[in-house]
A and B are shown apart, each in its own frame.
Chain A
Amino acid sequence: MTSTRTTVAPPPGPATPGKAAAEVRRLSLLNGVFELRAFIALAVLIIVFGLLSDSFLTVPNLITMTKHVAINGVIALGMLLVILKGGIDLSVGSIIGLSGVVAGELLQGLNLGFVDLIAYPPVWAVIVLCVAVGMLVGLVNGILVTRFKVAPFIATLGMLYVARGIALLISNGSTYPNLGGNPALGNTGFGLLGSGRPLGLPTSIWIMIVLAIAVMLLLSKSPFGRWLYATGGNERAAELSGVPIRRVKTAVYVISGACAAIAGLIIASELTSATPQAGETYELNAIAAVVIGGAALSGGRGTVRGTLVGAFVIGFLADGLVILGVSTFWQILIKGAVIILAVVLDQGQQRFQRRGAAVSAVVASKQPD
């Protein structure tokens, strides 16, 4: 920083314009490097782990790790939308637990006491209902934030406990051990979500890819995406431009709830069992992925690409450290350091950008009219 200052600070002499132009070039180069920092971090991780471990850079391991990434990736895509709005969703971990429990309850048979019947809904209906439950929790988040003006942090913190409590109440605190279904009842196939491998890749990876493309289209092509970036960037300006900010804000929580519910289904399916404790602290991993991917917690800035890279950085880092046999305690510490480093670098980039704009303006003004 000191060098930047001294280059610009002295009174304008004959040498200044050339020097300042060089400064502009230097800053824009640095800016470019910073822009790619998440990719660079991922590349460094892959190279380092690849050198240190023979098993890291094998196709089966890469697929396994990507399968782990997919769960966080799916949650992070929903989280990205909430963060773009300038909010935060702490309830996603609990929605994962709730969604799994609801799936377990439905697959075991839903006791319709009033007509003395046990219903066994087909798997597709189970999936639809679980996603609907996630969206419902998201809707409550959205209504709390938009109608009752509760701060997103508090509203979703409350729903973190409420959703987890409901999951525990439904399951009575116990695990649903077998989600395989019964051929006689026509509700088998739930396990395919976790164990299926269409075209050689696990279903969860396909789900992440499809969702990523959908969110990318939503953000870059649809009016909703533009509204979302505007609302996160400057809510007042968006509102005065006629953007339906309440609907936009509610929608992102609903989508985030849906994404979390899908992640919950994947987890339950992979384990073919559902526990009400599933997904605890997953919200933090999702937030970390979004932030490492360059999104601003203040809203308005962030991309699908960055978020996915962020999810890969977190996932590959965790699995790589496990493969190397690094102790769990160190793993936790290193993850924290990476998150902080990502944000510090992001601040650095913001400064470079502002500095670059100011220096360019000085250069422009020094040019003869």
Chain B
Amino acid sequence: MKASTHVLRACDVTKVYGGTHALRGVDFGVAPGRVTALFGENGAGKSTLMKILAGIEHPTTGHVELDGAPTELLSPRDAADQGISIIHQELSLCPNLSIQDNLFLAREISGGFGSIDRSAQRATTTAILRRLEENLDPDLLVGDLRLGQQQVVEIARALLQEARVLIMDEPTSALTAPEVEVLFRVIRELTASGVAVVYISHHLDEALEIADDVVVLRDGQLVATSNAAGVNIRWIVEQMVGRDQDSLFPDRVPVVGDELLTLRGLVVADPANPDRLAIDDLSLTVREGEIVGIYGLMGSGRTELLEALAGRIPPVSGEILLSGVPLEDSGIRDHIDQGVILVPGDRQRDGLVQTMSVGENLSLAGLGTFVRRLFVSRERERSAVERMISDVTVKTSGAGASIGSLSGGNQQKVVIGKALLTDPRVLLLDEPSRGVDVGAKADIFELMAAQARRGLAVVFTTSDAEEALHIPDRLLVLARGVVVGEFRRGEITREELMSVSDGAAIDTAGGDAR
């Protein structure tokens, strides 16, 4: 390693959360004036590594070097003071504050006597937004902006700090293609002035386009570094997956039965913003034994669709039928009892009860089936839980183990196992492979296929193009609440999928501007 050329470097960094290794002995450095693209599957440790470089997390072992000297980044603020700023994957804006208040949060321009110099802040905000070609009033509330605009504000905030190292963790997940072009122009301006940029994106082609250097993480380890000019997407994917990609996706010949789940003209409002429609007039039929994939980006309505099916959000209008019979709709419990259950996308927030054991988490949704008279029958519960632990291949020391001691993939299997213990007919999974290592990912896809073979209808969402192309028997492309394409497996290529999805985003963005 040519340590001297690196402005910021992680040296032999290991990070452990609970019982899970997020990073194992990673050496990663960024050079001034260059864009380093960091690749890796969900759960490979990219975000954790960036959080350590930005002072948000502290390494369990190993250290961080700044300008070749070991340093301890005590807090995000400390890192920012040393010239490191980060654009988060999850937006970290305060929706109740205006654009300028967000931009200058904790860095307010003083106007003397403890007051804030609002006109100076406003002028700077306007200038930065103009540089990003986003014509927004600095006094607008961030909560009133659409997701893509919020992401631009997040980027603007990082630019404002005039950092030497700028970390961008999925900065474009909600941006349209023209907005991405603007961002790339700004990034090139920054590197020309000597800023080191780290770029993370699940759009591999996009990241490769802007990158000078390429680094690949897999299962918390650094597996490859290269100059961007010498590599192509295929090489990157191979490094990321670490094996022949086809083995990740089970071969399957679907045996489909009768129509099971039918949606007619489903309209769902956005729970965060009831004036907006998350799903606009969607019709769909899923048969027994069929796996349907829904490909869409953040804000496409994919989560709201599944939550409406699971009974969490009541639809505005439209019908949900199960074997031709309208679903009685009075909430989640009813849907579960009728055989429709959701494996939520954010397993920490929506899937698991951290204070309960593996076994208690598994039995939670299907608890009613273990009740004998008034009480839960321990024997019935234990035998069902133990059977499920082996069915979904959870690696754990036992049903009594704490849920935090499991790795992300095993936690996800517990959430799926919990759903299966309700004996569902329709299994809904929101991004089931998010934050899961490669091995567990293959297990989860195999599980989905096994459930389909048993005659379940499986509906899942994904933002990963490879998954979208290989896992589902039928793929719907969702953009802004509307289905913009429907394909059978093998019907389209990766490039076609990208162009369908991006094209729709541009069209609808144009429609929005009216």
Contact = CB atoms under 8 A, between A and B. Distances in A.
A357 B350 contact: no
A357 B355 contact: no
Contacts of B21: 361, 365
B310 interface: yes
A360 interface: yes
A240 B332 CA distance: 6
Interface in A216-245: 217, 221-223, 226-227, 229-230, 232-234, 236-244
Given A11-B62, A237-B350, A241-B418, A229 B365 contact: no
A142 interface: no
A221 B376 contact: yes
B375 A221 contact: yes
Q: Bin chain A's interface residue count.
A: 35 or more
A227 B333 CA distance: 13
Contacts of B405: 357
A233 B356 contact: yes
B12 A242 contact: no
A234 B355 CA distance: 8
A241 B332 CA distance: 8
Given A226-B364, A230-B353, A233-B356, A240 B18 contact: no
A335 interface: no
B485 to A, nearest CB: 29
Contact of B354 (A9, A233, A239): A233
Given A240-B312, A301-B355, A358-B16, A226 B360 contact: yes
Given A11-B61, A242-B333, A361-B16, A223 B356 contact: no
Nearest to A364: B19
Given A223-B368, A365-B21, A365-B24, A238 B353 contact: yes
Contacts of A8: 60-61
Interface in B325-353: 332-333, 336-337, 341-342, 344, 349-353
Given A354-B18, A358-B18, A232 B24 contact: no
A226 B376 contact: yes
A191 interface: no
Nearest to A300: B355
B371 interface: yes
A11 B376 contact: no
B18 A361 contact: yes
A234 B354 contact: yes
Contact of B333 (A222, A232, A233, A244): A244
Q: Bin chain B's interface residue count.
A: 35 or more
Nearest to A12: B61
A43 B6 CA distance: 59
Contacts of B404: 357
Contact of B350 (A226, A236, A358): A236
Given A222-B376, A244-B333, A362 B350 contact: no
Q: Do most interface residues of chain B lie in helix, strand or loop, or is the interface mixed?
A: mixed
B48 interface: no
Interface in A317-366: 354, 357-358, 360-362, 364-365
Interface in B9-38: 12, 14, 16-21, 24
B374 interface: yes
B355 A222 contact: no
B210 interface: no
B61 A9 contact: yes
Given A11-B12, A241-B364, A361-B20, A229 B336 contact: no
A242 B332 contact: yes
Contact of A229 (B337, B342, B356): B356
Most B-side CB within 10 Å, residue of A222, A234, A360 = A234
B367 interface: yes
B139 to A, nearest CB: 29
Contacts of A358: 16-19, 60
B300 interface: no
Contacts of B461: none
Given A229-B356, A361-B20, A361-B21, A240 B61 contact: no
Contact of B364 (A9, A217, A230): A230
Given A221-B375, A222-B375, A223-B368, A237 B18 contact: no
A74 to B, nearest CB: 23
Interface in A189-238: 217, 221-223, 226-227, 229-230, 232-234, 236-238
A23 B12 CA distance: 22
Interface in B38-75: 60-62
Contact of A237 (B310, B333, B353, B376): B353
Contacts of B341: 242
Contacts of A217: 375
Contacts of A357: 18-19, 402, 404-405
A240 B310 contact: yes
A27 B39 CA distance: 37
Contacts of B418: 241
B352 A362 contact: no
B366 to A, nearest CB: 9
Most A-side CB within 10 Å, residue of B17, B61, B341, B405 = B61
Contact of A240 (B342, B355, B375): B342
A222 to B, nearest CB: 6
B392 to A, nearest CB: 16
A240 B20 contact: no
Interface in B236-279: none
Given A223-B367, A234-B352, A240-B351, A361 B19 contact: yes
A104 to B, nearest CB: 36
A239 B352 CA distance: 11
A296 B364 CA distance: 21
A273 B210 CA distance: 82
B151 interface: no
Contacts of A300: 353-356
Contacts of A242: 332-333, 336-337, 341, 365, 422
Nearest to A296: B355
B150 to A, nearest CB: 22
Interface in B365-406: 365, 367-368, 371, 374-376, 402, 404-405
Nearest to B334: A242
A352 to B, nearest CB: 14
Contacts of A354: 18
Nearest to B381: A226
A357 B61 CA distance: 15
B365 A241 contact: yes
B355 to A, nearest CB: 4
22 contacts: A9-B61, A10-B61, A221-B374, A222-B376, A223-B371, A226-B360, A226-B376, A229-B353, A229-B356, A229-B360, A234-B350, A234-B352, A240-B351, A241-B418, A296-B355, A301-B355, A354-B18, A358-B19, A358-B60, A360-B19, A361-B19, A362-B60
Interface of A: 8-12, 217, 221-223, 226-227, 229-230, 232-234, 236-244, 296, 299-301, 354, 357-358, 360-362, 364-365
Q: List the 4 closest A-B pairs by CB distance, nearest first.
A: A233-B355, A300-B355, A233-B353, A241-B365
Given A241-B365, A300-B354, A357-B405, 18 more contacts: A10-B61, A221-B374, A223-B367, A226-B367, A229-B355, A233-B353, A236-B350, A240-B350, A241-B336, A242-B333, A242-B337, A244-B333, A299-B355, A357-B402, A358-B19, A361-B18, A361-B19, A362-B61
